[in-house]
Amino acid sequence: MVPIPSFVTPDLIEMGSRLLMAVAAGSLVGLERYHRGHPAGMRTFAIISLTAALLTVSLSTGPYAYLMGTSDNGGSRVVQGILAGIGFIGAGVIVREGLSVRGLTSAACMWAVSAIGILIGTGETVLGFLGAVFVLAILVFFRWLDHFIPRRSYATVHAKFSAQAVPDESALRARLESYGFSVLSLAFKGAKSGALVIRASVWAPGVAASEARARLALDFQADQKVVDFSVEPVSTE
């Protein structure tokens, strides 16, 4: 039988097992993000959960616990510091691409995973894993539920018309609505050459939105009166 080194105490084994469980719980949530191709994946979420657990599990013994204080106030300062740090990391995964905003769900998951790591680090292992299961269930179930809930899909349409073919507002609205869009707003920008640039915010039912955008783009492409155009979907995931 291999002898156990003297520094391997029951407390160390307990803390090590908590760290392993924190990594497992964080990876469980990160698996869904990784599967969806998001920048923050399994490694990111595992490290966040591990770090939160490291900072909280060390409050039970050792010099770090003495430094932070064994009172409830010391533990609350650690938790506040963890959540403040997560705010910076979460802001880093939120990316704006044109009118679309991406990364909000990943940032929220990071916040949840930090709480999971804190719970496991403080010994609330069952509650921590239960939280991880709930977060994963929300990510999977609500994505599946999206297919059955009527949803609006928003888009922004930019089009530049030649000086000889500037449409009026009513004709432009009718043209967009003929593809199934509902027009929220129209903005116009003119040029001294006589060309006119329009910017329209539109929406269509989620099921038909993709086809409507494709049909409008093909129509603009074939229209000799349209000098330049873009049809850009707006996303907030």
In this structure, are 112 and 157 located in the same domain? no
In this structure, are 53 and 19 located in the same domain? yes
- At residue 70, the pLDDT reads 55
Asked if residue 163 is part of any domain, the answer here is yes
- At residue 174, the pLDDT reads 87
Those residues with Cβ within 8 angstroms of residue 68's Cβ, 6 or more apart along the chain or in another chain: 59, 74, 75, 77, 78
The three-class DSSP label of residue 225 is coil
In this structure, are 83 and 159 located in the same domain? no
In this structure, are 89 and 17 located in the same domain? yes
Please identify, among 122, 145, 168, the residue that sits at the C-terminal boundary of a domain: 145
Those residues with Cβ within 8 angstroms of residue 202's Cβ, 6 or more apart along the chain or in another chain: 154, 155, 156, 157, 176, 181, 182, 183, 184
Residue 168 belongs to domain with CATH number: 3.30.70.60
In this structure, are 102 and 25 located in the same domain? yes
- At residue 122, the pLDDT reads 83
| Cβ contact 226:166 at 8 Å | no
In this structure, are 33 and 141 located in the same domain? yes
- At residue 236, the pLDDT reads 56
Please identify, among 145, 180, 210, the residue that sits at the C-terminal boundary of a domain: 145
Q: How many domains does the chain have?
A: 2
* Residue pLDDT, tens place only, 126-157: 888 898 889 888 888 887 777 777 677 888 88
In this structure, are 64 and 96 located in the same domain? yes
Asked if residue 130 is part of any domain, the answer here is yes
Q: Which residue has the higher pLDDT, 168 or 136?
A: 136
**Cα(190)–Cα(194) distance, integer angstroms:** 7
Contacts 24+ apart (CB under 8 A), 69-76: 75/122
Q: In the structure encoding, which two tokens stand for residue 20, read together?
A: 């392993």
In this structure, are 29 and 139 located in the same domain? yes
Is residue 209 very low, low, confident or very high in pLDDT (cuts 50, 70, 90)? confident
Question: Which domain range does residue 202 map to?
Answer: 152-233
> If 0-12 CB within 10 Å is exposed, 13-18 middle and 19+ buried, where does residue 37 land?
exposed
CA atoms within 13 A on the CB side of 8: 7
Q: Average pLDDT, stretch 42-51?
A: 86
In this structure, are 108 and 61 located in the same domain? yes
In this structure, are 220 and 186 located in the same domain? yes
Asked if residue 3 is part of any domain, the answer here is no
Asked if residue 219 is part of any domain, the answer here is yes
Please identify, among 145, 173, 202, the residue that sits at the C-terminal boundary of a domain: 145
Is residue 9 very low, low, confident or very high in pLDDT (cuts 50, 70, 90)? low
Q: Average pLDDT, stretch 163-183?
A: 82
Q: Average pLDDT, stretch 216-221?
A: 87
Asked if residue 4 is part of any domain, the answer here is no
β-bridge partners, 185: 201
Is residue 67 very low, low, confident or very high in pLDDT (cuts 50, 70, 90)? low
In this structure, are 112 and 209 located in the same domain? no
In this structure, are 132 and 197 located in the same domain? no
